[in-house]
Amino acid sequence: MPDHENRPHTHHTGRPRALRLGVAGPVGTGKSSILAALCRALASELSMAVVTNDIYTDEDARFLRSAGVLPTERIRAVETGACPHTAIRDDVTANLDAVEDLEEAYGPLDLVLVESGGDNLTATFSPALADAQLFCIDVAGGGDVARKGGPGITGADLLIVNKTDLAPHVEVDVAAMVADAEAARDGLPVLALSRKDPASVAELADWVRALLVRHRAGVHVPTDPGPMAPHRHA
């Protein structure tokens, strides 16, 4: 596999290669809903596909298919059979195969969204798989989550503080949570998001559009937020 910083922006067929955007974050933070929102916002102007990851099921893929956000054949599921980060970080072969199969079948594609299975705060995508990555936390997980850090929170291309509409019900100050996130990220962008807030969804879609422009121009360089923290598998 070539070094990710020198990867061509064209598919091996000679067609322009799709932008590959990874979406990671803990279980229940709303990753699938973010994918659905992006598909609804962008599918009319971009040719898109989705790859979901989960340990034992294809539930996230079935959710997106049932939501009708893309043609069902453009949504593929990878069952990792192990900790979710194994397939987005340690050995990305299954995901790369799924992405490349989609590009072969339905290309040229503009954007492929790759959703990680729910993992912990240290989960990150390998730059060999994702050109850029979002990391998602949510207000229901607690207002102090952003302060806990981890490479996903501190180094992902965009950090999303999701489900802001729930903040009054869980007694979280969204502005303070966003300020904590901004302090942790040293200038990298933070977006407070609710799928019920069209303005925040539009801001996310605009961020993706701008990223795609940089990708097509060859000026976006994938960066690595950092490896998983040391851990053991029982």
Q: Where are the domains of the chain?
A: 17-215
* Per-residue model confidence (pLDDT) at position 1: 34
**In contact, 37 and 197? CB cutoff 8 Å:** no
Residue 4 binned pLDDT confidence (cut-offs 50, 70, 90): very low
Annotated binding site: 25-32
Output phi, psi for 60, to 5 deg: -65, -40
8 Å CB contact between 194 and 164: yes
pTM value is 0.90
- Coil, strand or helix at 99: helix
In contact, 125 and 152? CB cutoff 8 Å: no
CATH number of 17-215: 3.40.50.300
At residue 2, the pLDDT reads: 35
Integer CA distances (angstroms), 125 to 46, 130, 152, in order: 23, 6, 9
> Which residues contribute to the annotated binding site for GTP?
25-32
Q: How confident is the model at residue 229 (pLDDT cuts 50, 70, 90)?
A: low
Q: Which H or E run includes 97?
A: helix 93-106
> Residue 187: pLDDT band by 50, 70, 90 thresholds?
very high
pLDDT, tens only, 113-162: 999 988 778 889 999 999 999 999 999 999 999 998 899 999 999 999 99
